[in-house]
Amino acid sequence: MPWGLKRYHHTGQSHFVTFCCYHRHPLFTTDESRRIFENALERVRRSFRLRVYGYVVMPEHIHLVLSEPERDTLADALKSLKQGVARRLIGDAEHFWQKRYYDFNIRNHDQFVEKLHYTHCNPVNAGLCARPEDWPWSSFLHHALGCEGRIEIESEWTARKRERAAGSLRPAVALPHSSQNRA
């Protein structure tokens, strides 16, 4: 690790992570390259048992909002992710990714909301689309509508789905005139 750079891992905090393609070359310009990234992120999510709260694939960089992994370190998970993507997409290039990554520890709910909003609005701010929902290479549609994609996004939608699957979904308030009171 470079001198003076200090990472705070094993804190139980979520992380906002950004990493770039080599010299910020736009290497994610096709649907296929973006799908390869999404598939690799899902593989790493499962393998390292981490929670992905949000992401966006931009032409020359990636933003992630995620938990610390239950297995190994965040640095190990990101290394696996970057290596897996590079192996599939590098072609004849000498490098695919910049060596380092930016990591911001999210310490409270306001920072979490801010980083998730920044992530989802990044394609709009870059002029790639008019609204976040117009950019399919992010977790925005999952958060807005509960749409499922290649990556399991940790959210209220996902928690409710797990509760339904376990048969433990309960209404928040007993409704006085509903069929639930007739059993």
22-46, pLDDT tens digit by residue? 999 999 999 999 999 999 999 999 9
Contact 68, 74 (CB under 8 A): yes
- For the record, the structure tokens of 141 come out as 């549609």
In sequence order, which residues have a C-beta less than 8 Å from that of residue 77 and are 6 or more positions away?
44, 48, 50, 69
113-162, pLDDT tens digit by residue? 999 999 999 999 999 999 999 999 999 999 999 999 999 999 888 888 88
pLDDT at 179: 44
47: exposed, middle or buried (Cβ count in 10 Å: 0-12, 13-18, 19+): middle
Q: Looking at this protein, which amino acid is placed at residue 58? A: M
Cα angle 16, 84, 149 (rounded to 5 degrees) comes to 60
pLDDT at 49: 95
Domains of the chain, each with CATH number or no CATH = 14-167 (3.30.70.1290)
pLDDT at 20: 97
Bridge partners, residue 64, by sequence: 17, 55
Could you give phi then psi for residue 178, rounded to 5 degrees? -105, 165
pLDDT at 8: 52
Torsion of CA 156, 147, 16, 34, to 10 degrees: 160
54-95, pLDDT tens digit by residue? 999 999 999 999 999 998 999 999 999 999 999 999 887 789
Coil, helix or strand at residue 16: strand
CA–CA distance, 3 with 100 (Å, rounded to integer):
13
For the beta carbon of residue 15, count every other beta carbon within 10 angstroms: 24
Q: Residue 3 has what DSSP assignment?
A: T
Q: Which of 28, 31, 16 is nearest to 117 (CA)?
A: 16
73-84 burial: b if 16+ Cβ within 10 Å, else e = ebeebbebbbeb
